[in-house]
Structure 1
């Protein structure tokens, strides 16, 4: 039994354990059942966030390992015989955040029961050692445990365990691609929403910073690669031993704070390991071959995805991205010969600044090309509804000090679905209407598998075509309707350039 809070039209239950504390010998182990409690548990306050360190865009921290909790936002008590659609939100980033940071009242107003879990982040979710069960996938296993909790308990909150949509943004959306291809996640959800997901996305060298190498896949690493990351990042902790089990015992005995003190140890694990029981094969290969759970998918990206990262690394933190930076970045990403072709296609004279030129290059080459590939492979097997969030005046809710035109930035669509205290006061009436339309689309999709309903502009399925111009819905305050995604992001050029 749990006691929550009633607020107007909503019922909110916070900090409900869905798995036991992953501490001591349970650190870097599969999630275990939560300890039962007697009587009525207070669920009126958020539970602790999982271990994390502050970042320039998220000044929050935690050292608490007993963090595998979730929150439920529900409308007034419904007909429990039928139950309402359930939406489970997997938050993004992978090294910061938590379920309690997402206010789901807008979606609950649309007749959804919304569940927002925490899961292990960074090194606590991704560490890998030879012979370690679940290596590289502990965060994914936590999410799966939360989905299992929903299947067992949704009806108690007015939800339908037979109609569960799993939704997420960025790292969270990529986690959903992993669940689509994970045999152990079969049957735990019936629809999927992926916002700015990276299932089919590669990463050119320098795209995420001048010293960051390129990778064939942005989100996926082999078991050996995960072990190499672990070796490099945990070396300062003094736990190298002659056997992996002894190394693991040493790491498990360390205080959380000492682990978090290692620079970049959380960010280095913002990837998922494959070649294991959770992810037996590389997800892009499984998706291409149709080896995934056949559920309807709503999937999209933002118009200016990479402006977030250029702003955070350069202009918005007081380090302007210069012409010299642009030349260097193009050569690093594409090599000398192709760099000239890209510069001719994206001259800085066509943009307000070199930073915006570079952001557009990587938005088109990495994000848009990856989004189109993701939509193409999924749509061969299941209904897909593709979108592009295109509000270039979206409120910037990240605490970045410098001036920069972020446009329709990565994750800029999230406050249109979840109430954000930084963005909410900045919404114009037109943006509030866009928010209402978007929550209407998402709720309709959760109910029926199609974003259609009374008063909603028509949204047609995405069907791959040889010409490369299948239907994509543009979402902007001034216009909701079809967009030529292929042309908008110059994908004809990027089909010819590596």
Structure 2
């Protein structure tokens, strides 16, 4: 392999055409190039619908990106380390498994640390997660792309100064859920030694496809393909352009924001996961490695905006609470109508009370926080802590936002209807420079970035059992976490509280996955 060294302190090396694939097939390594590759431009992004809330690509088209997209980016401080190979962070981007790209996160904040950063692309939406729940289209191609990227890192990262046995996988939102998934899959065993999952878990309700076969057939019919035989269906869909297939997903967006996500596959040697994640954690099917899970104190506030929620018509939503809440809170179709209404009223009583919804939007944000993120993240953390030997840690990001960052968020999303704490995945903005959410270069931001990188992330990455860190199961049945409230590490304290699902959410008995006629899958905690 040949490369060009940049003149800057960090060398940005983007390997091209690392992997190739055909539609709805598992990716395989590409042939290597010859000569010098000039890694001076960002690679293609994977084809995706450009959702208005995530507009990050300058294009007037609803479909952006390319099928030629399975690239990764390597950032390294030195190609010839002094006597030892460096720690490696492989960062997996978020975007609900529908949108995003590897170079959404950059290395600037990590520049002075002895660590190699790798960011990756993987297939998204229908092209990455279509499943007919059979051997013809089993699904999880996007996750298998991530496995292949980790295999590439294991084989080649030493050429960039990184240690193949010093790899930490990390990710935010659906990237955090992907990290959780990689920990449970046998396909990724041995490819990483630590895991950091931010604001996402495979046990969150949006992190698995509901009725994947049905959704796949809806798209097939929309592009004029038969659905009586999945082999014929797949052949027909491959004759359609990728742009047409991706564009057709707009038909589903009125009912679901993130329609295509990971699935439980039919058993096979190539299955990423062939049981529900809960059962895979309990069976120790995946990687027993030290893990760090995080979430922000006010994750849900981020989702009180379009396309998730039309806050300008909150009174209409309030009047149709029983009909509209199941879709927003992701339990529509799980119960009969009477039980669904009962659950909706239980949620209203707990989070909204007897008044108008418009007077308690903070309660709705808390409902979304717990349902979308907190409950699943805490469940996954505790389950792993109880079923693996390696330690599991957690922190909650609860830091008052500096004025410059508050002004930037208000410019993007408008002035909030109520005072909100740290938002969805906000902690990662102090670890990676992110163009969509740039952190201003002020003293508070610099101090917080240093705290996160040096005292939390690198302390975890460089250690095994972390001195003076309490594990999530250290005070069972309570959930133990580090509450990050200040820039001085001494200000941050460990707390032990009942998990949000300890009584209330568990009592609602919302299934972790709908039983389908094809799979009959279910799981119990």
Relative to the length of structure 1, the TM-score reads: 0.85
SS at match of 1:28: coil
Partners of 2:289 and 2:162 lie apart in 1 by 19
**Displacement of 1:464 after TM fit?**
4.7
Aligned equivalent of 1:55: 51
User: What stretches of structure 1 of length at least 5 have no aligned partner?
Assistant: 204-217, 453-457
8 Å CA contact 1:166–1:192 kept in 2: the answer is yes
The residue that corresponds to 1:388 in the other structure is: 396
Q: Report how far residue 37 of structure 1 moved.
A: 1.5
Q: Distance in 1 between matches of 2:284 and 2:351?
A: 36
Say whether the 8 Å CA contact 1:174–1:219 is kept in structure 2: yes
Q: CA–CA distance in 2 between the matches of 1:493 and 1:243?
A: 43
Distance 1:470 1:241, change over 3 A: closer
Q: Which runs of 5+ in 2 are unaligned?
A: 58-62, 330-338, 510-525
Aligned partners of 1:376, 1:439: CA distance in 2, in Å? 25
RMSD of aligned alpha carbons: 3.1
Deviations 1:201-257 (A, max 9, x none): 3x4xxxxxxxxxxxxxx42358xx322221112321112265322322221122222
CA displacement at 1:80 relative to structure 2: 6.7
Task: After TM superposition, list the pairs within 5 Å mapping 1:268-347 onto structure 2.
Answer: 268-276=259-267, 277-313=271-307, 318-320=312-314, 324=318, 327-328=321-322, 332=326, 335-337=340-342, 339-347=344-352
2:366 alignment partner in structure 1: 360
- Within 5 A, what are the aligned runs for 1:416-495? 416-424=430-438, 426=440, 428-440=442-454, 441-449=456-464, 459-477=469-487, 480-484=491-495, 486=497, 493-494=504-505
Partner of 2:226: 240
Q: Which residue of 1 aligns with 2:243?
A: 257
Cα deviation, 1:368-419, whole Å, max 9, x if unaligned, reads 2222211111112220110111135265659844332553111222211111
1:325–1:411 CA distance, 2 compared to 1 (3 A): farther
Q: In the alignment, is the contact (CA less than 8 A) between 1:14 and 1:100 conserved in 2?
A: no
Counterpart of 1:211 in structure 2 is none
Distance 1:51 1:345 in 2: 41
* Corresponding residue to 1:373 among 371, 379, 388: 379
Question: What are the within-5 Å matches in structure 2 for residues 14-53 of structure 1?
Answer: 14-20=14-20, 22=21, 26-53=22-49
Relative to 1, partners in 2 of residues 1:173 and 1:184: Cα closer, same or farther, differing over 3 Å? same
**1:27-106 mapped onto 2 (5 Å cutoff):** 27-59=23-55, 60=57, 62-79=64-81, 82-93=84-95, 94-106=97-109
Q: Give the CA deviation at 1:68.
A: 0.5
| CA distance in structure 1 between the partners assigned to 2:325 and 2:228 by the alignment | 42
Q: 1:411: which partner in 2? A: 425
SS state at 2:236 partner = helix
Q: Residue 189 of structure 2 corresponds to which residue in structure 1?
A: 186
Q: Distance in 1 between matches of 2:307 and 2:197?
A: 25
Q: Which moved more, 1:475-484 or 1:366-375?
A: 475-484
Task: Provide closer, same or farther for how the CA distance between residues 344 and 120 of structure 1 changes in structure 2, counting only shifts above 3 A.
Answer: closer
